[in-house]
Amino acid sequence: MSTINRTTVSDLRGAARLAVDATLGITTLVERMHHTIQLVHPPLGASRAESTRGLTGLIYKTIRGTTRVIGKGLDAGLAPVAAFLPEGESAAGRNAWVSAINGVYGDHLERTANPLAIEMGFLHAGELVDPERPGDVVPHASGKVLLAIHGLCLNDQHWIRDGHHRIAGTAEATGHTMVHLRYNSGRSISANGVSLAESLETLLAHWPVPVAQLAIVGHSMGGLVARSAIHHGTAAGHAWRGLLGKLFSLGTPHHGAPLERGGNSLDYVMELSPYVAPFTSLGRARSAGITDLRYGSITGVEQEFVPLPDDVKCYAMAATLGQRRSLLAERLVGDGLVPLDSALGKHTDRSRSLALPKERQWIGYEMGHLDLLGRPEVYSQLEKWLR
């Protein structure tokens, strides 16, 4: 029988705040639709900023006010209860849905100080690592560190596929100490890059033994977060940059993902009609992390090109659902989310290509985006490169 603990109450507070925010957003959307319908001849793409007036406006204002009062009452009532409850351990199911919510609304959760917002942290064997006291959790650390960074809407537990923790096995086989990064994937990639750069500086400065080499493996968005951290760490003159020897990206959309570009185009088309335009606010509710995937932005400046670091050996692993190389499989299908060229850093404009040597590229066939996390052939190749 499950026991109510602090984590449970914290989740309830976070869910209640999110429900209140959603209610306020829907109320505003309906009011804007109401205002547009009242117009005799609404102009094409009319502004949706207007509110209704008179009795109608008062009704909408009352709904918003009542929603806020109820929300504050729930939050104030639950907050003191948590102090009297025991700490709770996070279950895999709970981590999965919280990670998914953070991926979609993470920047909003952070901006509103929602308890559901994930704070960046390092983990070893499932335990949270204090960057200033890593020896408490990693007593038998080696001088070679392998950092794994998950992708959008995922977490460290998604590296375990079909009961196998292959990346941990690869780390052990190559003499590396395994460390995972857990982070709010809804924040902008650049913001997460800055935070990771600073956290790595602290962690490796306090590592139990002198660090000889750092290697990073990033899946999907994780590869962009790693590149962003390298970019910001270099600019800040961080010491850990000199320890980084290898960077591996697994299905990383280095030049963006078509699905996000399609979503952005749909928003533009919807805005052309004053009757449909209010609904674009729902589409635009997607997080900064997701919109950064449009072009694979790692600096906060859309489409700014950043080459791979010269002092780091960089590798790219890509997947395609096709059985062999073909135009359809590579450019349109890819691994289901990321086209092959984007995952390999290739670009039609050679000046924007990541120019990875052939020997540092690997392609998995009949393989989807998430298959890269657990297929044995992926880790067989990764182990060869790590050695």
pLDDT in tens, 261-319: 444 443 444 444 443 444 454 445 567 888 898 889 999 998 899 999 999 999 999 99
Which residue would you say has higher pLDDT here, 111 or 55? 111
Higher confidence at residue 260 or residue 327?
327
Residues 53 and 125 in one domain: no
Between 379 and 105, the more confident residue is 379
263 Cβ contact list (under 8 Å, min separation 6): 283, 286
The band of 81, judged by pLDDT with boundaries at 50, 70 and 90, is: very low
Same domain membership, residue 359 and residue 229: yes
Please count the structural domains in the chain.
2
**What domain range is 373 assigned to?**
121-259+289-386
* β-bridge pairing 121-124 and 177-182: antiparallel
Domain contains 304: yes
The reply to whether 85 and 156 lie within a common domain is no
173 shares a domain with 84: no
**125-158, pLDDT tens digit by residue?**
999 999 999 999 999 999 999 999 999 989 999 9
Residue 165, pLDDT score = 95
Residue 143 and residue 82 share a domain: no
Q: Quick check: is 144 in a domain?
A: yes
| Residue that is last in its domain, among 68, 89, 110 | 89
Question: Does the residue 220 lie in any domain?
Answer: yes
In a domain, 106, yes or no: no
pLDDT at 104: 79
Q: Is the predicted pLDDT of residue 38 greater than 80, yes or no?
A: no
Q: What is the CATH number of the domain that holds 343?
A: 3.40.50.1820
